Amino acid sequence: MTENSEVSNIDINTRLYTLSIRLRSNGFSFSRYDILSENSYEYKDYSFHSGASYLQSLENIILNDDIFLQPYKDVNIIIAGNRFTLVPQEFAEDEETLKKFYRFNIESENEKILNNTLIQTSTQIVFGVDKDLHNFLMRTFAGPKFLHSHSILNEYFAPKSRLGNNAKMMCQIRDNKLDIICHKRGKLIFSNGFEFSDINDAAFYLLSCWKNIGYNNILDILQLTGVNEQTQALNEIVSDYLTNIEPVVFPAQVFKLGKASINAPFDLIALPLCEL
C-alpha cells in the first residue's frame, strides 16, 4: 500500500466538516473540509498493492484510522468506476425500472444498484456497488450519500456548456482511467469512462468519441484535467487533430478552501459546488 498525505494532525471540530471518500479500482482517496472556513481542505490518497481483497484493504485503513471514525456533518461516498448507465428522466418511472435498465446494459451480480438524479440534464445515472462493500460503508458511517463520479462531473459542467455556441468535451485523466463527458448547450450527449495502459490508447478513445459524436475539429472545445504528466501527453497527441484545447479552470471557490485541493481528482474538487 502507498499513500500520498496532505492531512494535518491539528484538532478540528469534525461536526462542521464534510468527509468525501472516492473509491477507485486500485485504492481510494478522501477529502474533508468545512465549507465556511478558508484553508480547511485536506486530501489524502491510498493505493492498494497487497494480495488482500479490496474490501479487506479498505477496512484495514478505515477502521484503524481515527480520521474516519469521527462524527462528520456529511459523508459522501464517490464511486469512480465504469459500471453505470444513463437513463433519461422520462423513462425513470421508479427504482425498479432503473434497476431493469442497469441489468439490461450491465451484467450484475452481488451488487447494490443505486441512482443519482442529474437535475441539470434531466437524467438518472444508475450504478452498481458491491453489496459487501456497501454494507461495510453503511455500518461504518452515519447516513452516507453515494454518488457516482460522473454525476458530479455532469452536474458541474452542464451549466458551463451553455456558454457560447461551441459543443464541449471534458476529459478527466487519472489512475490510468479516462472519463469523458460531452455536452452541447446544456444537453448531455455522452458520458463514459475508459481504462488504459498506454496514453496512446487514451488518445484513441478520446478521438473516436469525438468523431462518432460528430464534434467539429476546429470549432468545438476539448477541456482537459487530471494528472499533469498524463494530461500534457494526451494534449500533445490530440492537438494534431483538434484546434480548441484548453485546461479546465480550477474553481476559485474551492481554492479558498486550501491549496491541498489542487492535487485532488476534479470530481472531489467540484463536489462542494454541485447540488447533489
Residue 175: how many CB atoms within 10 A of its CB?
A: 17
Answer yes or no: is 167 within a domain.
yes
Answer yes or no: is 10 within a domain.
no
Do strands 74-79 and 18-24 pair parallel, antiparallel, or not at all (unpaired)? parallel
Angle, CA of 51, 267 and 180, to the nearest 5°: 90
Cα–Cα distances in Å, from 112 out to 43, 66, 103, 151? 28, 27, 11, 17
227: helix, strand or coil: coil
Answer yes or no: is 225 within a domain.
yes
Q: Name the residue range of residue 227's domain.
A: 160-247
Answer yes or no: is 43 within a domain.
no
Do strands 74-79 and 177-184 pair parallel, antiparallel, or not at all (unpaired)? unpaired
- Strand order across the beta sheet in which 187-195 lies: 187-195, 177-184, 168-174, 221-226, 244-247
What is d(CA 124, CA 99) in angstroms, rounded to the nearest whole number?
Answer: 11
Answer yes or no: is 198 within a domain.
yes
Number of domains in the chain: 1
Answer yes or no: is 41 within a domain.
no
Per-residue pLDDT, 49: 83
Encode the chain (276 residues) as per-residue pLDDT tens digits: 566 655 655 578 999 999 999 999 999 999 999 999 999 999 999 999 878 899 999 999 999 999 999 999 999 999 999 999 999 999 998 999 999 999 999 988 899 999 999 999 999 999 999 999 999 999 999 999 999 999 999 999 999 999 888 999 999 999 899 999 999 988 999 999 999 999 999 999 999 999 999 999 999 999 999 988 999 999 999 999 999 999 999 888 888 998 889 889 999 999 999 888
Answer yes or no: is 269 within a domain.
no
CATH code, 241: 3.30.420.260
Answer yes or no: is 228 within a domain.
yes
Q: At which residue does the C-alpha cell 484535467 appear?
A: 225
What is d(CA 223, CA 228) in angstroms, rounded to the nearest whole number?
Answer: 13
Per-residue pLDDT, 254: 87
